[in-house]
């Protein structure tokens, strides 16, 4: 008989540590060698209803990094659904992009795997996943929301309501004449910039794809600035609409804007950056409110069956205003207050104490 010497360290321990640090109870790894599919599904919470979340595709330095990203984004979806008044939970799929990925075959297989969940998870597009990818998935699964433009428009509508709430708290009579810097000119950033321009806002835009930013600027008569300068531009409001984690403590110290309100996921890098904004008196609408328009639109349609989701999207502005007012009264950061409100709704539904990051 042979014995195996144990060291107390399993090969998967890094993944379990990631999940435990994020308080994430459910993680599924999907692998399909013929297509090269390597994907991670994290379902954060089912308390309010079926889980909703986008499918993101990108290269990751490690599986642990992919799991961490999926867990972080799934948690944000749970909070957005709760704050948006949607009867759905949060989830996220990330597809690991790599040289061996046969994209068409991989997304076909992913659609089959999502279909096997029987509708308990509904997905849509996210960074790195295009409309064709979603169409291929939808050929094998009924639980795919393809409409990229309607989700972008819903996000922009919700963000506009939140910016209106910020302007009101700052004593501004409407949005006309305000200067807003929009970081990112993809589907969401472009929709945001266009809505702001239509509201009489002086818009500055930037993107790592300079040609795309210049084309958007010409289209809406906005001003193009360098991607490295957009967050510290001389404006009233900064609106990150690309990647997350961009508002660091160092960026906060350099901000010339008096407010931050954007549609990217997980904009603020950490609690230190959030506290620094509070100390400086910078108004901040957490992205779990400001960017929730898409999940309200998608989940409100597919999961709740609402014919019109506009009233819920517009209500995000009211929620933003209430959180800003509470922050002013209590001196506490808006991100903390927004999370507490989200968990309170989930707790009321479930009768249990919800996990905290």
> Pairing between strand 37-43 and 89-96?
antiparallel
Within a 13 Å sphere around the CA of 227, how many CA atoms are in the beta-carbon half? Answer: 14
Question: Which of the following is catalytic: 92, 172, 195, 357?
Answer: 92
CA distances from residue 154 to 69, 197, 201, 295, 301 in whole angstroms, order as listed? 24, 16, 19, 9, 12
Query: Cβ distance 214 to 235 under 8 Å?
Result: no
DSSP E strands, the chain: 26-32, 37-43, 51-58, 89-96, 121-125, 179-183, 202-206, 223-224, 237-240, 259-260, 283-284
3-state helix, strand, coil in the chain (%, to 5): 45, 15, 35
Sole residue written with tokens 């006309």 = 176
Distance (Å) of CA 144 to CA 6, 21, 27, 81, 304: 44, 30, 20, 18, 15
Is 92 considered catalytic here? yes
The CA distance from 81 to 295, in Å, is 7
Residue in 131, 114, 132 with CA at minimum distance from that of residue 123 = 114
The owner of tokens 């001196």 is 331
**185: its two tokens:** 């000119």
Q: How many CB atoms lie within 10 A of CB 202?
A: 18
Let me know: does 201 contact 220? Beta carbons within 8 Å.
Answer: no
For residue 58, report the phi and psi dihedrals to the nearest 5 degrees: -165, 165
Among all residues, which ones are annotated catalytic?
A: 92
């Amino acid at each position: 008989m042979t014995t195996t010497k144990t060291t107390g360290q399993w090969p998967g321990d890094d993944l379990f540590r990631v999940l435990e640090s994020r308080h994430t109870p459910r993680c599924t790894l999907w692998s399909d060698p013929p297509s090269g599919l390597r994907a991670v599904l994290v379902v954060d919470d089912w308390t309010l209803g079926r889980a909703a979340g986008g499918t993101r595709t990108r290269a990751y330095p490690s599986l642990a990094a992919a799991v961490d990203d999926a867990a972080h984004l799934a948690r944000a979806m749970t909070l957005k659904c709760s704050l948006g008044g949607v009867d759905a939970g949060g989830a996220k799929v990330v597809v690991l992009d790599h040289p061996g990925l046969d994209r068409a075959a991989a997304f076909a297989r992913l659609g089959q795997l999502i279909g096997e969940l029987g509708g308990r998870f509904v997905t849509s597009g996210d960074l790195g996943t295009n409309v064709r990818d979603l169409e291929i998935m939808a050929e094998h699964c009924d639980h795919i929301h393809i409409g990229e433009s309607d989700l972008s428009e819903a996000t922009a509508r919700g963000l506009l309501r939140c910016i209106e709430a910020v302007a009101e708290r700052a004593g501004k009579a409407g949005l006309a004449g305000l200067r807003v810097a929009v970081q990112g000119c993809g589907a969401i950033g472009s929709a945001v910039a266009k809505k702001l321009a239509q509201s009489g806002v002086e818009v500055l835009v930037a993107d790592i794809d300079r040609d795309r930013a210049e084309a958007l600027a010409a289209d809406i008569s906005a001003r193009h600035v360098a991607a490295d300068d957009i967050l510290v531009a001389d404006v009233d409001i900064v609106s990150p609409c690309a990647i997350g984690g961009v508002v660091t403590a160092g960026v906060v110290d350099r901000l010339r804007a008096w407010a931050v309100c954007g549609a990217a996921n997980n904009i603020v890098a950490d609690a230190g950056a959030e506290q620094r904004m509070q100390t400086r008196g910078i108004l901040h609408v957490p992205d779990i409110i400001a960017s929730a328009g898409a999940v309200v639109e998608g989940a409100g349609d597919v999961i709740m069956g609402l014919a019109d989701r506009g009233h819920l999207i517009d209500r995000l502005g009211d929620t933003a205003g209430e959180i800003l007012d509470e922050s002013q009264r209590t001196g506490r950061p808006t991100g903390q207050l927004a999370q507490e409100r989200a968990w309170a709704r989930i707790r009321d539904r479930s009768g249990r104490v919800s996990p905290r990051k």
